[in-house]
Amino acid sequence: MEPLGAKRAIRQLDSTDQRLNMYLTIDTKNVTLLRSLIMNTFAEIVSFMKIEPVDHARKMKVCLCLLKPVEAHLMSAIMRTLPSAEFGRFTPLS
């Protein structure tokens, strides 16, 4: 289920909106759940997803490239879906 606010924000996106990288760490068992959330709800705003194993593959480090205006909606959806997700830095792309 897509949050109503996210739908509205996605409709208002502009090609000039700033892109940023969002870094997070999730448990390995939640990779499919995160991918499903991104592809079913936020596919229009996430242009790149990189996943790599860390900590002897018990955890995965994820990098998402997305549009800044929907950053809060995506973060909120991830927190609701994966409460154990650990958010790292957000890096603006030039």
How many Å apart are CA 85 and CA 70, to the nearest integer? 18
CATH of the domain at 8: 3.30.70.240
Arithmetic mean of pLDDT, 19-24: 95
Q: Per the structure, how many domains does the chain have?
A: 1
How many Å apart are CA 30 and CA 34, to the nearest integer? 6
Q: How high does pLDDT run on average in the chain?
A: 86
With contact defined as beta carbons under 8 Å apart, do 34 and 80 qualify?
A: no
Arithmetic mean of pLDDT, 56-85: 93
At residue 1, the pLDDT reads 45
HEC string for 32-71: HHHHHHHHHHCCCCEEEEEEEEECCCCEEEEEEEEEHHHH
Give the residue numbers spanning the domain of 77. Answer: 4-92
- Residue 77 confidence (pLDDT) above 50: yes
Secondary element (H or E) of residue 25? strand 19-27
At residue 9, the pLDDT reads 52
